Amino acid sequence: MSSYYIPEDIIFKILLLLPAKSLLRFTAVCKLWQSIISNPQFIYTHLANSRNKQARVGILATRVDSCSSIDIIDHEELITKIPLPPQCHRMIRYARTSSCNGLVCLDNGNSDILHVWNPLTRQFKKISIPKGECSFTRCAFALGFGYDSISDDYKILRMVKFGHGVIEAQLFSFNTDCWKKIQIPKTIQSLLGLYSNFDWVQFRTGVFYMDGSNELISLDLHNEVFGVHPYPLQHKKRSHALNFQDSVAMIFESIGDAAVTLWTLDDFGGGKMSWIKSLKLEANPKINWVYFVLGVGQILAHDMDIGCFFYDYKKQTTKEVCKDISMISAFKYTESLVSLKWFGKKQ
């Protein structure tokens, strides 16, 4: 039997090559495999490898003949449909989603509870909204869910607009299992005043970005400090903040032709940030709205006539999606084994 022995470190490396969905099944093979696959070090190493691969598209959707679900699309094809937990059904109609490391945060804006869910493991966590809020006098208009690698902490950011016009930033830490308020400078308040339906985009650097009325707004997730960055082009129709090859990007409408241009805000060191014109996109049909940019030369976009579609900006081809569903929101999704059982235990 000794000739069939495989060292544990070799098993570790082999398992790292497998999809998260397969690993979930393989925990039942033997106690050793279960121990390796459920180890936090293995899970985060596997997640780091997965993030370097093509992200999938997650679509929060409803169907006439079935319950609400998360549809996972890979390379333009539906690969799985995961029903939402029953606890989430009542909030689905107006829900906003944000995803990080295989976890999905669901918030319908006016509910007193939001949910964080791992669609693969089916684990979910209910989080109560700060007490004292009244659903008739406030509305959460922006949601961010991300990972602070410095503190090894997942955080949720909600921007809440009250009936008297005051905007408040609320940050939830999974390590402390509680909410806190973040002071918003008056200059940031003025940039947020005209906007009511945009979400934060997170990057591996631990920074959130959201488009304001005249400048791009940022929030350092660890230091909890806001910043602003002037747009490269003014007075032109633009997309919301996007993640393009792990740089913040925005798409601007061109004048005089059907093309749009993608600009990235790059870090040149020493705190110096500058916009670079990276792509010219000549889409047909016309792009009215961009949800996000994928890593294989594709954009998930929307057209007023045909609805949601993938646009391959390298091949200049389009493909419609979501023909049989009512799409509520879309997000980038990477399968992972990150466990919600770990949260709230690092106080």
Asked whether residue 317 carries a pLDDT value surpassing 70, the answer given is yes
Question: pLDDT tens digit string along 101-131?
Answer: 989 888 775 667 888 989 889 888 888 887 6
CATH of the domain at 230: 2.120.10.80
Rounded Cα–Cα distance for residues 109 and 285 (Å): 32
Using alpha carbons, select from 173, 170, 274, 265 the residue that is nearest to residue 222: 173
Is 6 a domain residue?
no
Percentage above 70 pLDDT, the chain: 76
Is 52 contained in some domain?
Answer: yes
Q: By residue range, what is the domain housing residue 338? A: 39-342
pTM of the model: 0.84
Q: Look at residue 25 and tell me if it is in a domain.
A: no
pLDDT, tens digit, for every residue of 278-294?
Answer: 888 776 666 777 777 77
Residue 137 covered by a domain: yes
- The answer to whether residue 12 sits within a structural domain is no
The angle, 0 to 180 degrees and rounded to 10, between the axes of the packed helices 40-51 and 8-16 is: 40
Instruction: Judge whether 15 lies within some domain.
Output: no
**Domain membership flag for residue 300:** yes
Tell me the C-alpha distance between 147 and 265, whole Å.
21
Query: Which pair of tokens denotes residue 142?
Result: 């922006």
Closest CA to 110 of 87, 126, 133, 89: 133
Tally of domains in the chain? 1
180: β partners: 171
In-domain check, residue 1: no
* Both tokens assigned to 145: 């869910």
DSSP H helix total and E strand total for the chain: 5, 24
